[in-house]
Amino acid sequence: MTLAQVEATARAAHTGQTDKAGRPYAEHLRAVADGVRERGGDDEQIAAAWLHDAVEDDALSAQWLHGAALSSRTKDIVLAVTKRAGEPPEAYAARILATPGALLVKESDLAHNADPARLAVLDEATRNRLTEKYARMRALLGLVG
């Protein structure tokens, strides 16, 4: 799949979904993909950025991902950043760190999730909870500063 095809697939898969602030979910996907590109990521990582929440959100199935015309590296990154039910954050972080290329995608995801402008529209309790959650994950991944 080309990056344009991956983008179109991700946008279609997340049609009608919104983020916690009520914005179209595709805006988050675009921001993560752009963040990966700006951080020097390659096309496989950018493709994974577009798809980073697709399996986790049940927008696309793991079976779809398995059969998709994507590199094994892109598929591995998507699966690495896909949270699993009941999984401790430490195990999630370890899987990301063990998967080549996944850390950059997760770093971009966390950067957009923790954007003060995005968090500012949330209620204080949610904003505080998410700020702590994202800071903890950054620490587990060694993304300090």
Those residues with Cβ within 8 angstroms of residue 71's Cβ, 6 or more apart along the chain or in another chain: 44, 47
Q: Kindly tell me if the per-residue pLDDT of 144 is higher than 90.
A: no
- Tell me the β-bridge partners of 24: 18
- pTM attached to this predicted model: 0.95
pLDDT in tens, 51-82: 999 999 899 999 999 999 999 999 999 999 99
- Supply the angle between the helices 25-38 and 3-13 in degrees, to the nearest 10: 150
